[in-house]
Amino acid sequence: MFLFPLQPLLNHRRHVEEKLQKETAALQQQLSAERQRADALCHSLMNHRQQLDSMQRNGDNAANLLMVVRHLEHLASEVSRQEETLRRAAQRFEEKRADLIEAVKQRKVIEKLKEKAAQVYQDEISKKELRLINEIAIGSERSTAYHTDRQKQADTGHGTTSARAGGRDNRCRPSPRGR
C-alpha cells in the first residue's frame, strides 16, 4: 500500500486553500455589496441633480433649491467615501485572491510530488511482480529440466541406482572378488 510521506503537508495545504476560498468568496460578496451601494448612491446623486435642474427651470424658491444643493453636497461626499470603501474592498479581495492562487499552486506542487511518488511506487511493485513471475517461470523450467534429466538417466541406466542391482548402489561397496 502506497503511503505518501508528505500527506500531512498536502492535507494542510488543502485546508489552507479551502479556508482562503471561503474568505475570498466572503470578500467577493462584500465587494459586490459595496459596488451596489456605490451604484445606488451615484444613481441617487444623478436623480437629485436632475431634480435640482428641474427646480431651477421651474423657478422654485431659493430655500428649496438650497435644501436640494445641500443634499447633493452630502450625497457627493457619501459617493466619495463609498468609492474609497469600494477601492479598499477591491484591494482586500485582490490580495486574498492572490493568496488563494498561491495556495492552489503550493497544493498542486505537493500533489505532483504525490503523483510522481505513487508512480515510482507502482513501477517498483510492477518490477517486483515481474521478477517473481520470472523466478517462478525459471524455477518451473529448472524443475522440468531436472525431472527430464532424471528420466533420461533412468532410461539409459546412468542413474545413481541400478535396476540390475535391485535398486542398490554398488559403487560404494567393495567388490566381492577383491577380498
3-state secondary structure of 104: helix
pLDDT of 1 higher than 70: yes
pLDDT of 87 higher than 80: yes
- pLDDT for res 151: 77
Q: How large is the average pLDDT for residues 94-123? A: 96
Specify whether the CB–CB gap between 82 and 33 falls below 8 A. no
Instruction: Spell out the domains of the chain, with CATH numbers in brackets.
Output: 7-112 (1.10.287)
Classify residue 160 by its DSSP letter: S
Q: What percent of the chain has pLDDT over 90?
A: 61
Under 8 Å CB-to-CB from 89, ≥6 apart: which residues?
27, 30, 31, 34
- pLDDT for res 112: 97
Dist. CA 130–CA 16, nearest whole Å: 42
Greatest CA separation for the chain: 159
Report the candidate in 151, 38, 154, 159 with the shortest Cα–Cα distance to residue 90. 38
- pLDDT for res 31: 96
Q: What is the pLDDT of residues 120-167, one digit of tens each?
A: 999 999 999 999 998 888 877 776 766 677 777 777 765 555 444 454
